[in-house]
Amino acid sequence: MKQVPDYQVVLIGGSAGSIPVISELLQQLPATFKIPVVLIVHRMRNINSQLDVLFSRNAVTRKVVDTEDKMALQKGKVYLAPQNYHLLFEDDKTLSLDYSDPVFFSRPSIDVSFESAAAVFGPATLAILLSGANQDGSNGAAIVAASGGTVWVQDPATAESDVMPLAAVRACAQALVLTPAEMGKQLQQL
Amino acid sequence: MMVRPVFEKHEMEQLLHMVHHVYGYDFSEYSKASLNRRIQKFMHDKGLMDSKSLIQLLAGDRLSFQFFLETVTVNVTEMFRDPSFYKCLRQQVIPILATYPQINIWHAGCATGEEVYSLCILLHEAGLLHRCRIYATDISPANLEIAKSGVLPLHHMREYTANYHESGGVLDFSDYYTAHYDKVLINKQIRERVVFLQHNLVTDHSFNEFQLILCRNVMIYFNKQLQNKVLKLFYESLSPLGFLALGMKESLLFSEIKSKMSAFESAVKIYRKKNK
């Protein structure tokens, strides 16, 4: 049995149907949960979305930061990838934004953030992929696993849209398939 | 899983050193995460599997380097990007600019010109364009050629029209261009006050004093040190009470000029130089 590593970052990616699950997971994070959490959620372009406010309301113990360029990842905080940018990680553990072309019509792209985190954090990466209607994230999940990191995928049977989790399970044999309730419990033990 | 070419830190340094030495472009203070991603994209497109073959190709072939430059300098852009920003320019900044007899504007990192022409449309609607000189600069000669031509792809115009209206535009947006097959040409009247120049923010100096400087989503590709350097360059290039407009997710937070600027409209990242 693999020992639980000290994660330096928890990434949560999702698209259609993921927002209620993210809210649920954030609600279950104990006040003592110190690992920085980064959310990558597909959103509409050029529409002023208040997702950070929505998530903050649910996260009870912590505020969700609408990420700006070159912010440092800090313990105990939750970062939301801004609309219309890719979110990347620098070697010094700051966050960088990127406005290059969308991946699978998505910006932010989950693949881009997962892959970038894997390069910086390696085995200390925990990547969680939730409900979604396209296959963004599965390639990134495979790269996280190949770099020694951990991948959790929402049980497709519990996902409002199962395309994203099914693609991830196919692309990443090491992925652990969990229900949202199981994910919440496991997060509490980190 | 897509296999990425292996690219170690010292190989990146070798590559950047060669590019600087042979072509004069200094990417050493660019954000590594994003630069790495775009170099890998270039290698993937060219079928290159290691940094050695990449360095060999670029060192010996200027044409390949031009293509490399276009790939690594992101030039994705759109007209009236972030309509709330343009609304603020229209309603709050332009009325103040109108008090100057002559208005100098620097659009730094103009890519293919979409945001420059958006600004020109606002100035035109305010009756100010003839009093303005807009210096639009970019690192990439290929970008500047496209920008200068005023030709844009037609298929984005519906989205741009929506952006224009959302930014407070009330006129018929299609009056600003002529469509021809799958392209549109921005009217000459909108373009004629713009001067396009090649300028590298990393190495080049200021060239005038400006009432407004726009540099949106360009510095996200720089590391903090280079951002700070470029922000100082902008500060020195602004007239007293001049405006500085950044991208919606950029800020002066980590820069030395922070205390010398005031937030004019922080929601859309417009700052103003303090009058000493």
What is the ipTM for the molecules in this complex?
0.89
Percent of chain B residues topping a pLDDT of 90: 84
> Does A1 score more than 50 pLDDT?
no
Pairwise CB contact (< 8 Å): B254 & A96: no
Q: Has residue B4 been placed in a domain?
A: no
pLDDT given at position A3:
60
Ranges assigned E (strand) in B116-180: 132-138, 151-153, 177-180
Residues B109 and B24 in one domain: no
Strands A86-89 and A95-98: antiparallel
Q: Which residues pair with B152 in a beta bridge?
A: B184
Whether residue B176 contacts residue B160, with contact meaning beta carbons closer than 8 Å, is answered with: no
Q: Has residue B77 been placed in a domain?
A: no
Kindly report, residue by residue over B247-268, the tens digit of the pLDDT. Answer: 999 999 889 999 999 999 999 9
Domains, chain A: 9-188 (3.40.50.180)
- Region A5-24 average pLDDT: 92
Whether residue A115 contacts residue A143, with contact meaning beta carbons closer than 8 Å, is answered with: yes
Helices A110-121 and B32-46, packing angle to 10 deg: 110
Q: Has residue B29 been placed in a domain?
A: yes
Q: Cα separations (Å) of B195 from B26, B62, B115?
A: 25, 26, 14
> Does B153 score more than 50 pLDDT?
yes
Looking at per-residue pLDDT, the higher value among B233 and B45 belongs to B233
Residues B36 and B87 in one domain: no
Q: Which amino acid is at B203?
A: T
pLDDT given at position A46:
46
pTM of the model: 0.92
Interface residues on B facing A, Cβ-Cβ cutoff 8 A? 1-2, 4, 31-34, 36-38, 74, 76, 81-84, 163, 166, 217, 219-221, 223-224, 227, 247-251, 253-254
Whether residue B215 contacts residue B124, with contact meaning beta carbons closer than 8 Å, is answered with: no
Q: A interface mutation test: which of B1, B36, B222, B250 has the most A CBs within 10 A?
A: B1
Place of tokens 């609600």: A27
Which residues span the domain enclosing B18?
Answer: 9-72
Residues B90 and B58 in one domain: no
Q: Has residue B254 been placed in a domain?
A: yes
Q: What integer best gives the mean pLDDT of chain B? A: 93
Taking the C-alpha atoms of residue B198 and residue B178, their distance in angstroms, rounded to an integer, is: 27
For residue A157, give the nearest of A12, A4, A5, A17 by alpha carbon: A17
- Upper half-sphere CA count for residue B271 (Cβ side, 13 Å): 26
In terms of Cβ atoms closer than 10 Å to its own Cβ (0-12, 13-18, 19+), residue B183 is: middle
- CA A131 from centroid of its chain's CA atoms: 12
Which residues, in sequence order, are CB contacts of B247 under 8 Å at separation 6+?
A: A69, B216, B217, B218, B219, B220, B269
Which residues, in sequence order, are CB contacts of B161 under 8 Å at separation 6+?
A: B173, B174
Percent of chain B residues topping a pLDDT of 70: 97
